[in-house]
Amino acid sequence: MKALVYLGSGSSALENRPRPVLAGPTDAIVRMAKTTICGSDLHILKGDVPSCQPGRILGHEGVGVVEVVGPAVTAFQHGDRVLISCISTCGKCAYCRRLMYSHCTSGGWILGNEIDGTQAEWVRIPYADCSLYRIPDDADEEAMVMLSDIFPTAFECGVTNGKVEPGSTIAIIGAGPIGLAALLTSQLYSPAQIILIDLDDNRLEVAKRLGATATIKNADGRARERVMELTGDRGVDTVIEAVGLPATFELCQEIVAPGGTIANIGVHGTKVDLHLESLWDRNITITTRLVDTISTPMLIHVLQSHKLDPKLLITHRFKLDQIVDAYDTFADAAKTRALKVLIEA
């Protein structure tokens, strides 16, 4: 089968690999229909994820059709259309019992990281009963791909952790795919203001179309001043950090209101400063999280009700044999204006 293989820092290639086979009684083999590329995949290619070793098939998102299931799988059978969760969960360990699936002692983020992933024609899914979701008959497969990772991540790590509520004021730092997914899912709670902060004019324009009440281009470093103008010098109730840089985390601390929440989504590869000298008395909360995908069933229902349209983030489409070009397009988003790229297997 064709598969996108990580060859080491800065290198990958489309290769022919053997089809996966069942390795345990809870496994399912899924024939991929559609997948996508995540920012985490780019981190792997940069060599930032040591748990992912050369030779690994990349990818942790997508939809497909069940080919075969192990003897312990009871929820799925041959021919079922399924959404693949980015998080594999045994459903039994101490963390899974606490709904912290991302910390499953034998699962978590293993697809395309510690085991072969979804950017291939077939994939093996461990703990299939808990790690797959049946696709409703009337659901759009392209939209469903976006529910593998980016929308649960934005909703759980940003909106839920950020305590977004009706009438609140929020700022989202970073108008990339994850920030825009947070923008879309935050509107399920009807905040009064949603302020998007970024450096890219195109992404800020997209944010306006998707429901931002205000956008700020922080090229001059005056985002704090502008946020204070927009909020009557109070700051925002929720700041969602969707970049993962020291400067953006610093800005979060500057614009959060007393009693507010900083909800971190960004992947931070270097240390950041926490200014307790100015925050110690402000009653703020700082949250961190890896997505647990506990919101996936709810998001599927919201998708079916047409109150959420994840396809708004899809900008480019490729075939699997064009996946190297898809990576180039996704990685050079400033020039290509790419948000999410869809890959058809």
Q: Are residues 278 and 302 in the same domain?
A: no
| Beta strands 28-36; 314-319: pairing state | unpaired
pLDDT(17) > 90 = yes
Q: CATH number, domain at 141?
A: 3.90.180.10
Q: Are residues 187 and 66 in the same domain?
A: no
Last residue of a domain, which of 255, 287, 319? 287
Q: State pLDDT tens for residues 117-141.
A: 999 999 999 999 999 999 999 999 9
The closest alpha carbon to 249, from 260, 262, 237, belongs to: 262
The closest alpha carbon to 313, from 64, 59, 142, 139, belongs to: 142
Q: Are residues 282 and 297 in the same domain?
A: no
pLDDT(269) > 90 = no
Q: Are residues 6 and 140 in the same domain?
A: yes
- The pLDDT, as a whole number, for residue 127 is 98
pLDDT(303) > 90 = yes
* Helix, strand and coil percent figures for the chain, each rounded to 5: 30, 25, 40
| 15 phi and psi angles, rounded to 5 deg | -125, 165
Cα separation, 321 vs 34, whole angstroms? 13
Last residue of a domain, which of 245, 268, 287? 287
Q: CATH number, domain at 231?
A: 3.40.50.720
Q: Are residues 37 and 104 in the same domain?
A: yes
- The pLDDT, as a whole number, for residue 14 is 97
- The pLDDT, as a whole number, for residue 204 is 98
Q: Are residues 103 and 131 in the same domain?
A: yes
Q: Are residues 157 and 276 in the same domain?
A: yes
Q: Are residues 57 and 80 in the same domain?
A: yes
Q: State pLDDT tens for residues 179-228.
A: 999 999 999 999 999 999 999 999 999 999 999 999 999 999 999 999 99
Q: Are residues 88 and 189 in the same domain?
A: no
Q: Are residues 172 and 142 in the same domain?
A: no
The model's pTM? 0.96
Q: Are residues 322 and 283 in the same domain?
A: no
Cα separation, 235 vs 170, whole angstroms? 9
For 195, the domain range is: 153-287
**How many domains are contained in the chain?**
2
Q: Are residues 270 and 175 in the same domain?
A: yes
Last residue of a domain, which of 244, 264, 287? 287
